[in-house]
Amino acid sequence: MKYDIKNEMMDLLKIQEQKPVEAYIGPFTFEKVNEILIETKTFLNQNEPDRLKSKRVYSVLVETMENVLKHAKKDPENPEAALLIYKDDEKYLVYVGNFVEKEDASSFKKRIEYLMDKTPEQLKELKMQQLKEGSISEKGGAGLGLIDIVMKGSNSLNCEVKLLQKDDCLFVLIISVI
Amino acid sequence: MENYIVEATVFEPRVELNFRDNKLLFSGESRPENVHTFYGPIFTKIDEYENYLKANPTSTVECVFKFEYFNSASSKSILDIIERLAKIKENIPTVNLKIEWYYDAMDDDMKEAGLEFEEITEMKFDFCEVI
């Protein structure tokens, strides 16, 4: 079944129509992700005086979109993913949504809850352990992406999952950078 | 031994493995589409460099890291490079290995990454703040 990812996301997140800093809905390919990253980097360089915050937003974007590239369900009928970035006063809110298998959504959710339960010191310990003992997967991941997102994203990683039909899920990562 | 140079792109760093002058440099942004494809040949070159150094002893090898940004997958590969350099130092004790880690003055995360690599590899880094 074909889904409208934008409507599903707006409905799930109860987002009011407001102008995002960056918005993209469509297939995520390395080339497209690269284009979005260059555009967002230019926006941040021109509009965000806090260079550390600017870099952290950029970093969170890289990791979340690479996560989608590696883990999104390969469904020809629903190849789309969505990225929305809003600026709310001093805070950036990043939403990245894509379709995943129900099982994957559940394991991602558990992993996020596990990481969000950790103190900054425990997260650093996990990161160091993964750096020392982990290896790079065939898909090119080092098992560090979510840890990095939590550390750079002001310890505010969250997710929303909407069960659509059968085993289809809309999975949305929500990160704020303060 | 032939030098190995990779020009930078918006998502790949500049790599200058200047083996003849014993100077290695990594700079720019690192988030390659495939870390295996990008860093694999670099690992091979550094392993070959160890054999080259055994046959052509030198006193100092300088390795400079001037990253603006690297993603989490690259961080594992950068650690692999530093571990290979540490192995060279261990196997050839006459080599004086100098590692310089540059970071933007506002970029606490980049400095922290250098400190983490230093801790894991037990190598001494020279930290250079860029203002």
Over the stretch B84-115, which tens digit does the pLDDT of each residue have?
A: 999 999 999 999 999 999 999 999 999 999 99
- For A143-167, what is the mean pLDDT? 82
**Does the pLDDT of residue A168 top 90, yes or no?**
no
Could you report the per-residue pLDDT of A27-58, keeping only the tens digit for each? Answer: 889 999 999 999 999 999 999 999 999 999 99
pLDDT score at A11:
76
Please, which residues bridge with residue B126 across strands? B100
A150 phi and psi, to 5 degrees?
-65, -40
Could you report the per-residue pLDDT of B20-54, keeping only the tens digit for each? Answer: 999 999 999 999 999 999 999 999 999 999 999 99
Could you report the per-residue pLDDT of A95-122, keeping only the tens digit for each? Answer: 999 988 888 888 889 999 999 999 999 9
Find out whether B43 and B83 touch, Cβ atoms under 8 Å: no
Q: Which residue of A has its CA nearest to B107?
A: A52
**Does the pLDDT of residue B125 top 80, yes or no?**
yes
**Does the pLDDT of residue A77 top 90, yes or no?**
no
Are residues A131 and B34, on separate chains, in Cβ contact within 8 Å? no
High-pLDDT (> 70) share of chain A, %: 95
Could you report the per-residue pLDDT of B63-76, keeping only the tens digit for each? Answer: 999 999 999 999 99
In angstroms, rounded to a whole number, what is the distance separating the alpha carbons of residues B11 and B30?
6
Q: Which residue of B has its CA nearest to A134?
A: B76
**Does the pLDDT of residue B130 top 70, yes or no?**
yes
Are residues B73 and A55, on separate chains, in Cβ contact within 8 Å? no
DSSP class of B109 = H
In angstroms, rounded to a whole number, what is the distance separating the alpha carbons of residues B79 and B85?
10
Are residues A148 and B120, on separate chains, in Cβ contact within 8 Å? no
Sign of the CA dihedral running A95, A99, A102, A107: negative
In angstroms, rounded to a whole number, what is the distance separating the alpha carbons of residues A152 and A59?
7
Are residues B36 and A140, on separate chains, in Cβ contact within 8 Å? yes
pLDDT score at A142:
61
**Chain length of chain A:** 178
Find out whether A82 and A9 touch, Cβ atoms under 8 Å: yes
Interface residues of B toward A, Cβ cutoff 8 Å, are 10-11, 31, 33-36, 69, 71-73, 75-77, 79, 104, 106-109, 116, 119-120
Query: Which one, of B77, B67, B97, B73, lies nearest residue B85 by Cα?
Result: B97
Question: Residue A99, CB half-sphere, CA atoms under 13 Å: how many?
Answer: 23
In angstroms, rounded to a whole number, what is the distance separating the alpha carbons of residues B45 and B49?
6
Of residues A55, A135, A148, nearest to B72 (C-beta):
A148
User: Across the A/B interface, how many CB contacts are shorter than 8 Å?
Assistant: 67
Are residues A135 and B76, on separate chains, in Cβ contact within 8 Å? yes
